[in-house]
Amino acid sequence: MGKGVPYVSSPVLAAKLPAWRSRVVLFLIFAAFATLAGRALWLQGMSTDFLQKQGASRYTRTLELPATRGKITDRNGQVLASSLPVRAIWAIPEDVMEAPKDKLRQLAKLLDMSEKDLYRRLDSDRTFVYLKRQVEMDIVEMVQKLEIAGINTRKEYKRFYPEGEAMAHIVGFTNVEDKGLEGMELAYQQTLAGTPGSRRVIRDRLGRVVEDIEAIREPHDGADLALSIDSKLQYIAFSNLKAAVEANKAKAGGIVILDAKTGEILALANLPTYDPNDRRKLTGAQLRNRVLTDTFEPGSTLKPFTVALGLEKRIVTPNTMIDTAPGRMTIGTATIGDAHSIGLASVSQVIEKSSNIGTAKIALQMPPQDMWDLFTSVGFGQQPKIGFPGAVAGRVRPYKSWRPIEQATMSYGHGISLSLLQIAHAYMIFARDGEMIPLTLQRSTDQPIAQRVLSEKTAREMRSMLEMAAGPHGTAPQAQVPGYRVGGKTGTAYKLENGKYVKKYVASFVGFAPVSDPRIIVAVMIDEPSAGRHYGGSVAGPVFSSVTASALRAMNVAPDSSVTNIIIPAEPLQEVL
C-alpha cells in the first residue's frame, strides 16, 4: 500500500479558490484595524473630556461644608440659641445588609429605633439612605465602634436652646436641615444661616474619602443676633404668668414688657408653651404666640383712649361732671350699663371707677372719624412692624359704618379686636407724654424716632387718672406696687364664638411704672379663667403687680413712692362687661 497522495496533486482534494476572495479577507482585516484605530483616536483625542467626566462621576463627590448658624443672645449677651456639632448617620443598604444580625440589632438600639424600622430603611435599591439625623457625638462614637461596612456619618449642627420653654415663643426653633421654622429663627433665617461651602473629594465604593481634590467654596458662618429681650425679666414674666394661669385654671395667657424709653420688647411670654429642645409632642396650641397672633376685645383697657380724645378736643376736662345715673343708658334699641351706678362723677372718676356710661357719653359728643383717627394713629387695625412672623393687625371697622350704639360700645372696648402687643404699644402715648415710638425685638442703642399723638398736657392728665384706677378706690387695687407709683387699666370682656358672645372671659390689665417717669409698660392677658374669678383687676392685676415690682428692682429703677403698705378693699370695684 502506498504512502498518501499529496493534497495538491489529488484531483479530489485540490481546492480551487477564486483569487478575489483572499483580497476581500485581507481588506476586511485592514478595515477592522482601521476602525479600531479610528475609535481609539476618537476616544483618546476627541472624547477625552467627556470620558473623564463620566469617570469622575463614579468616584468623585462634592461634599457640602455646612456653615455654623449664628447665635441668638439676649440684650446682655446671654446665649438663647446656639449650634452644637452632631452627625447624620447614613448607609449604603447593599453593604449594611451583609452585616451580622447582632450588630444590626445593636445599631437599631443605639439609633433608638426598632429592628423592623431599621430593616425597612435598609430595604432600598438606593446607594444612600439616612438612618438618623442630628445624632449626638457620644452615640456616633458607639456606632463607629460596631465597624459595620456601609455605615457612614456626615457633619451637621443641632440647635440648642438653654432657656427652654420660657423663651420658646420668641426664639423659635429650626428643623433638621438647620432652617428656621418659628420665631426669630424664622424671621432672621438669612442672617443667622450664613452660606454653606463645598469641597470636591474622591471616595471609594464604601463611601470613604481617599483623596481631597479641591475646595470649591469656603463656608461663611452666620451672623449673631442680639435681641432686646432681658433673660432676667423674661423669667420673671414667664414664672408669674405660669402661676396665674394655673391658679385661675385658665386656658391660656400672655404677657409683654416694653421699655417706654426705647421701644424695646424686654420680655414676651405665652402659655401654653413648649420645649424647643424636645418637640416630639408639639401641638398647634403650644406653638401660638398669643401676644402677637391672638386678638380679643380689649374691654375697659380702651377707655383711656376715648377719654384722652375728649380731653384733647377740649370736650371735657378731668373735672367735668358727667351724670351716669341710673347706671343704664339706652341707645336706639340697645341698652348699656355699669356694674355699679356711680351717679354724678367727674371724668377722672369715670376712669377710676371704669364707667361705661360716662365713657359712652364722652364718645357720642365726638365725630366717629376722630375716634377712628386716634385708634389708627396708635396702631389699632395695623400689623405691628417688628419683623416677627405671624403678628396680626386686629380689626377696626371703617368709621363710616359706625352706628351710635357701635360708637358707644367701641369707646369702652367692645366691637374692636386687638392683640396684647397692640394695646401695650398704644399705652406708650400715656407713658411718653403723648408720643408713640416704634417697637423692636432687637437690641437698640439708637434714639427712637417719636411721633406725637397727644399733647403733653393730655397725656399727663391721663397718667394721673390711670394712677387713680390702679389705686385703692379704683378697679385694680391689686395692681399696686410697694414703693412705686403705678398707673393702668383693667379689662374684662366676653369672648366671641361663631359670631356670638359666650360666657367665657378674657381678663386683662395694661399699665406702666413709675408714674413720675415711666420706664416700663406691662400688659397681661388671662384667657378663660375658671377658678371663680374672671375680672381683670383680680385676675390680671396681681400678675402686673408682681412682675412690675420684680422688673423695676432688677432694672435698678429708683422708687418714687414712700407707700409700702398696699391697701386692697374687701370688695374692689369691678368693670362691667
Q: Which residues are catalytic?
A: 300
Kindly state the DSSP code that residue 572 receives in the 8-state scheme. Answer: -
Q: Sign (positive/negative) of CA torsion 462, 466, 472, 474?
A: positive
* Residue 521 cell numbers, joined: 409698660
| H helix count then E strand count, the chain | 22, 21
DSSP states of 176-215: TTS-B-SHHHHHTHHHHH-B-EEEEEEE-TTS-EEEEEEE
CA distances from 176 to 88, 142, 224 (A): 10, 22, 20
Q: What is the DSSP string of 73-130?
A: E-TTS-EEEEEEEEEEEEE-HHHHTTS-HHHHHHHHHHTT--HHHHHHHH--SSS-EE
Q: Given the C-alpha cell 467627556, which residue does it identify?
A: 50
* Separation CA 247–CA 235 (nearest Å): 18
Q: Is 416 exposed, middle or buried (0-12, 13-18, 19+ CB in 10 A)?
A: buried
Burial 221-253 (b: 16+ CB within 10 A, else e): bbebbbbbbbbbbbbbbbebbbebbeebebbbb
